[in-house]
Structure 1
Amino acid sequence: MKSALVRQLVRNDWERVRDIYKIGIESGNATFETNAPDWEYWNNGKLSFGRLVAEIEGKIAGWVALSPYSSRQVYSGIVEVGIYVDPDFQGNGIGSALLETVLRVCEKEGVWTVQASIFPENDASLALHQKFDFRVVGRREKIAQLNGKWRDVVLMEKRL
């Protein structure tokens, strides 16, 4: 398979980005969300920088975006990363290409800590973040319910 082209996510990418997000939702191990939002809701919850897609032969294979950790100015250098790869493209370095690029963007933007909250069952995501030197900060037990079941998340972070 050809290598991925990582580029800025633009509004016209939303339908495909949302489709990949839906696949993650349906997996039950990617997010607490149960429905993919519309563009406006998603767009308003993300930072203006660090929105990237990875394309292979013109098809979006995955995406990454950053959310603010807090609205308080003192925490402006802390972000949460969300990364999603279409299962048809997993195992081809898409996640690595996206995470490596978004980390460079974070450094350029003055971010000092990147966090990720990952379901402990999501081995691929845990391994990806560990590959890029994210460390496990702890396990947040029964932090929220998904489909009526309490779920834990592993909190990981990388200091830049």
Structure 2
Amino acid sequence: MNYWLFKSEPDAFSIDDLANRTNQTEHWDGIRNYQARNFLRDKVQQGDQVFIYHSSCKNVGIAGLAEVVKAAYPDHTQFDPESNYYDPKSDPENPRWFMVDVKFVAKFKQILSLKNIKSMPEITELGLVKKGHRLSIMPVTKAEFEHLLAHCEQ
């Protein structure tokens, strides 16, 4: 099993939105960064655990937990001219962009803030705490996942 942090702007899609979906499941679409795409396409697998991180908002931080329930498949929004994520250069025979399906696991009582995460001496490998790291999909080590999860559940 792998561990991940997926960023989302809560006004676009939040942990509450995931919790309120049918079967509490939704596809994670719209990833348009090649490194993040490579993680989704090549590394993220069914059963992986995912922190849902709210970004670009008043309360930035880890808001909840999800599980990957379907591994990578082509992101259909790349082919839809009406979508904000349309990519006219993407070819259905050789898709450029991928998505996974995630299922709601938990919403934390309070958001674990970026400020608190950065203050934890045990958190050193997570891209979130590294300068200039802006990926929307990033791996989390097992040790850091367990440490962060323990703080989220307090």
Tell whether the structures are fold-level matches, with TM greater than 0.5.
no
Relative to the length of structure 1, the TM-score reads: 0.27
The structure whose RCO (Cα within 8 Å, separation 6+) is larger is: 2
Higher helix residue share: 1
